[in-house]
Structure 1
Amino acid sequence: MPSAEKPLVVISGAAKGIGRACAEAFLATGWHVAALDYDAEPLNTFAAGKSNVSPIVTDVADPASVEAATSQLTQPARALVNAAGIFPLSSLATADVATYRRIFDINVLGTVLLSQAIARTMPAGGAIVHFASINAFMAKPDQLLYNASKAAVVSLTRGMAADLAERRIRVNAVAPGPVDTEGLRAIPGRLEKISAQIPLGRTASPSEMAALVLWLVEGEGAQLMTGETVVSSGGVLVR
């Protein structure tokens, strides 16, 4: 676990994709990373040989698991990044209770539970960053429940910012458009098709999203930002 000299950031969904890119970005700037993920194998692979990473297998939708994970931290976290999330397809015709609960338990309840646990001891000047999506603001077919879950994250961002402002803790969110991740590349031709539809001509990289998160946490120009959801979509969504 970290020493007092290194600030601690807790990152969920840290084993791969955008969460892992966030962990790498914080590591590169001198933070100690408590890397949380449900999937032990890629989590431990990422953490192997890194003295400033503490891997903690965690189910963010399970209160007992979240409490067990946060009880392992030996100092208050100065930052929290809620990057864990899932996006199974759903429509009005196909949505069912099991899919609803799975999506909302991870994307929404998980954000609440981990934020509650970390905020209890977070010092003044700390920052929390959630991951929303442009899907929170625009209808996407076959993503009915995911769209709704990310709209909930936007609302949680505003509410938590109001709750924590008196303690000088800032809460913001990032709403990415298409990001070049393993999931996007899993379907042949999908990356190229989506890139052609983006006004700026390409998808974002996970490291670009991580740089935005890092700026929201420690950037000089972000220190009065709270309750905001920052869209980074290459022009797919303009508000």
Structure 2
Amino acid sequence: MSDTATIEKGKEDLGRPGLEANMKTKPETIKSSYKGSDKLRGKVALITGGDSGIGRAIAVHYAREGANVAIAYLNENEDADTTKKMVEKEGTKCLTVAGDLRNHNLCNELVEKVIDAYGRIDILVNNAATQYTQEDFSEIPLEQLKKTFDTNIVAMIYLTQQVYPHLREGARIINTTSITSYRGNKVLVDYSSTKGAITSFTRALSSQLAEKNILVNGVAPGPIWTPLIPATMDDIEDFGEDTPLGRCGQPSEVAPAYVFLASEDSSYMTGQVLHINGGEIIGS
């Protein structure tokens, strides 16, 4: 869809973390004007949360740049099948693996399946996340708090540990943080906290892996139209309208940043975060 089209906003019964197939207004995955130039030819990328939204857009952009991809997702089989078809339409391969990344055995199996299928991993995109809105932070249930942290940061670190032995010099780790890491969100206190942890994880790990020439960077999206938004938020009638650009963004507008960070174009960059947020000025 065009980024100027009217988005039907309101909480939808999409399940959690959201099924793109059931959205009233579908996100735009890739612009017809985006032309691949073999920036990732011969590379293999593992993308968590790759079934829909930003993750789907990353997978399709990577495929258009020549990479074979593997996507991990929770249980959104219909969305994953669609992403697989979109990737394969670009002429590359797509492996899909379902399961909860909080299960450490699943993380181990995921890495094994990618290595068995492709023999290598060149790019790890840690993108999977969940969120819950809560007006009063003191009422955040302990179970929710643990789930948010286990999904968003604990699983990310553990999976990265499992992928690390397979990474060669020049490999890339790209973490999805958020604008909430920098300015918070009053109804997403636990989510914002995990995103702050992801930003710190990105910076710390980049320092450790720099001598091995494994580059670690992040992307901090602002308000992007993905299944997670209508599935988890009640008041989204003005979603994204408070940005300088006056609208929410599309996954198609975020994914090129991940292409840049995965390609040789970013060879002198590590420990950094790109801010794709509609123009809000954010301190680093």
Whether TM exceeds 0.5 here: the answer is yes
In structure 1, the partner of 2:69 is 33
Q: Percent identical across equivalent pairs? A: 25
Counterpart of 1:159 (choices 201, 204, 207) is: 204
Q: Distance between the aligned counterparts of 2:125 and 2:227, measured in 1?
A: 20
Candidates 98, 120, 125, aligned match of 1:76 = 120
In structure 2, the partner of 1:101 is 146
Q: 1:237 to 1:89 in 2, by over 3 A?
A: farther
Provide the residue aligned with 1:88 in structure 2. 132
Once residues 216 and 138 of structure 1 are traced to their aligned partners in structure 2, the CA distance between those partners, rounded to angstroms, is 23
Contact 1:157–1:173, Cα closer than 8 Å, also in 2:
yes
How far apart are 1:195 and its partner, in Å? Answer: 3.4
For the 8 Å contact 1:14–1:43, the answer to whether it is kept is yes
Whether 1:142 aligns to 2:187 is yes
CA 1:199–1:168 in 2, change beyond 3 Å: closer, same or farther? same
Q: How many residues align?
A: 233
Runs of 4+ in 1 over 6 A off after TM superposition: none
Which residue number in structure 2 is paired with residue 62 of structure 1? 103
- Preserved CA contact (<8 Å) 1:136 1:154: yes
Per-residue deviation, residues 18-48 of structure 1 (Å, max 9, x unmatched): 1111111101111000111111512234324
The structure showing larger relative contact order (alpha-carbon pairs under 8 Å, at least 6 residues apart) is 2
- 1:203–1:234: 8 Å Cα contact kept in structure 2? yes
Query: Which residues of 2 match residues 1-239 of structure 1 at below 5 A?
Result: 6-41=42-77, 42-48=79-85, 50=88, 52-72=93-113, 73-74=115-116, 75-90=119-134, 91-185=136-230, 190=236, 193-220=238-265, 222-239=266-283
Whether the 8 Å CA contact 2:204–2:271 is kept in 1: the answer is yes
The one-letter amino acid of 1:32's match is N
Structure 2 Cα separation of the partners of residues 227 and 119 of structure 1: 17
* Partner of residue 20, structure 2: none
Q: Which runs of 5+ in 2 are unaligned?
A: 1-40
- Cα distance in structure 2, aligned partners of 1:123 and 1:58: 26
* 1:99-140 Cα shifts (integer Å, max 9, x gaps): 111100110012101211111111100101000001011131
Structure 1 SS opposite 2:275:
strand
Partner Cα separation in structure 2 for residue 46 and residue 177 of structure 1: 23
Aligned letter for 1:209? V
Whether the aligned pair in 1 keeps the contact of 2:240 and 2:249 (CA below 8 Å) is no
Residue 60 of structure 1 contacts residue 113 of structure 1 at CA under 8 Å; is this kept in 2?
A: no
Kept in 2, the 8 Å contact 1:127–1:169? The answer is: yes
Please give the TM-score of this superposition, normalised by the length of structure 2: 0.77
Contact 2:241 2:248 in 1 (8 A): no
Structure 1 residues 84 and 183: CA distance shift in structure 2, 3 A = closer
Tell me how far apart the structure 1 counterparts of residues 74 and 235 of structure 2 sit (CA, whole Å): 29
| Structure 1 Cα separation of the partners of residues 153 and 281 of structure 2 | 22
Q: Deviations over 1:151-207 (max 9, x none)?
A: 00001001111121121100001111100223435679835x133311122222101
